[in-house]
Amino acid sequence: MKATRKPILLASIMAAGAAAVAVPAVTPAIAQEQASALSALSPGEWTIRIRGGDTRQICVRNGRELAKLRHTGARCTSKVLRDNGKTATVSYTCPGKGNGLTTITRETGRLAQIRSQGIEDGSPFDFSAEARRTGDC
């Protein structure tokens, strides 16, 4: 009897090991299905309320534009460093104008919290804001 238990036990261990190896192959597919925090933000007119500062409206074609509020209209290159579907962190550089690092937390497709810091025309900036979609543009 002991001889038959070892092959069954070994087969069970090998099957469990094969299942463990198969799990990581499924994980990237799940990650690809997850919505991007930036793409889930609706295009349109957004009102930006800088905490302790001014309020302004901008026309947003995509959520990535909210990452460079201090460099609106500047030609910039950007890279999404992290995006878990709710929060995205974007690093960007605008040659001759400055750079920034912005974290956007999507509350809904029409409401987001923004934290940004960087350099604009040689001077540092650091602010928090609330962005709310207020209409079409």
For the chain, the domains span 1-33, 44-135
How much is the pTM?
A: 0.73
Q: DSSP 3-state helix, strand, coil percentages of the chain (rounded to 5)?
A: 30, 45, 25
How confident is the model over 74-121, as pLDDT tens digits?
899 999 999 999 999 999 999 999 999 999 999 999 999 999 999 999
Percentage of the chain surpassing pLDDT 70? 74
Distance from C-alpha of 112 to C-alpha of 86, rounded to nearest angstrom: 10
Which two structure tokens, joined as six digits, stand for 23? 């799990």
Judge residue 15's burial from the number of C-beta atoms within 10 Å of its C-beta, 0-12 exposed, 13-18 middle, 19 or more buried: exposed
Q: Other CB atoms closer than 10 Å to residue 6's CB: what's the count?
A: 9
